[in-house]
Amino acid sequence: MLILPAKISFLEKLHMISVVLGSIGYFIYGLFAIRLQGGGRKGYTLSTASSYYVRNLFARSSLRKLQWFLPSTHQAYNQFASLWRFKPVTHTFPDGSMGHWMGNKAAKQIIVYLHGGGYMVPATLAHMKWVYDAHRELTKAGTDTSAIILSYQLTPHRQYPLQLQQAVNLVKHVIEVEGLTPSQIILAGDSAGGNLTLAVISHLMHPHPDVPELKLAEPFRGILLISPWIAFDYVEPIAKEYRWDMLSAPGLRETSAAFIGPAPPDNYNEPVRAPPSWWEPLRQVTSSVYIYCGGSEMLRPSIEKIAQAMSDSVNLTINIVPGATHVSTIVDCIVPFNKGVDKESIAWLKAQGEKTEV
């Protein structure tokens, strides 16, 4: 059963609206300060200022208010389908999670996408646009590609390991019901969705006792991680290069506590804990991993650490984009004058599509 966020009072609604409007001031400040003080990617000032806006919006609000203000993943998907004029197709699972389709279900390749948001906020139109652009670019390049986006249940109403259970059920559905083989699947996720993607991989290598069994007859075609959130213990960085990032150390600590609840940190929910030996069976899960990382995001050190731990076990590509902040390739998709999905991610996805298809 899907649990909806608690209703908020009229005064709380007014406060949230004032926070949203007030945060616009941070966006405007960012536009000028980034140019004067430096930072961010050259030519992407709007994206960097947008990240700074999100940072301040989250810092000045509460989880309850954010969940009231933002449309659900299901609503965002339907809004996006209406804007881009395609028929929405949604599969609802018994546990209340959903899978939202883009493209032809009979396509030769599928992106199974796990969205970010700290497990506390739903997928946004930016997530929808990234997935939609990727599916269209790949199809245009000659590899007919569909996508399915998981709408999992959010914290604090539902906590770890439920989201992992729901992600595993989605993968099983794609294979057992939709009839795709693992070699047709690219498993992808950003931020918390990257955390969830790595949890699915860990479950395949080292089955979690509280999660449904998942066995692959063959490896996935590829794994794509966008700014994966893989560590819980952060201190506020002093380095100026991180000052425009959308993430903050206090926010990450609060988010991780809401996610794991009473459960202790482990290799599934905090992947950076896992030693290199944990990843040794990775080649049985996939032959290729791609990681997108912002050069100016505070998660960068932990992302570099896990990339190093995984690198001996699989063909791994890490793209550290100078000046980019957290999930900037997602933000770029809805910021005017930007080109959307970064060309390096698309190039990697196209290369996977060129592999021998079933």
9 annotated active-site: no
* Side-by-side strand order, sheet with 185-190: 89-92, 98-102, 145-151, 109-114, 185-190, 222-226, 288-294, 315-321
Q: Which pLDDT value is given to residue 240?
A: 66
Question: In CATH terms, is domain 71-354 a member of 3.40.228.10?
Answer: no
Rounded to 10 deg, the angle between the 249-260 and 45-59 helix axes is: 60
Confidence tier at 56 by pLDDT (50, 70, 90): confident
For 219-268, the pLDDT digits (tens) are 999 999 999 999 998 776 656 677 889 998 888 999 999 999 999 999 99
The catalytic position among 146, 183, 191, 248 is 191
Q: SS3 of 229, please?
A: coil
Q: What is the mean pLDDT of residues 128-134?
A: 96
Confidence tier at 40 by pLDDT (50, 70, 90): low
* For the chain, domain boundaries: 9-69, 71-354
Q: Which pLDDT value is given to residue 1?
A: 45
For 146-165, the pLDDT digits (tens) are 999 999 999 999 999 999 99
- Characterise 117 by phi-psi region: left (phi > 0), alpha (psi -120 to 50), beta (else): left
**Bigger pLDDT: 334 vs 73:** 73
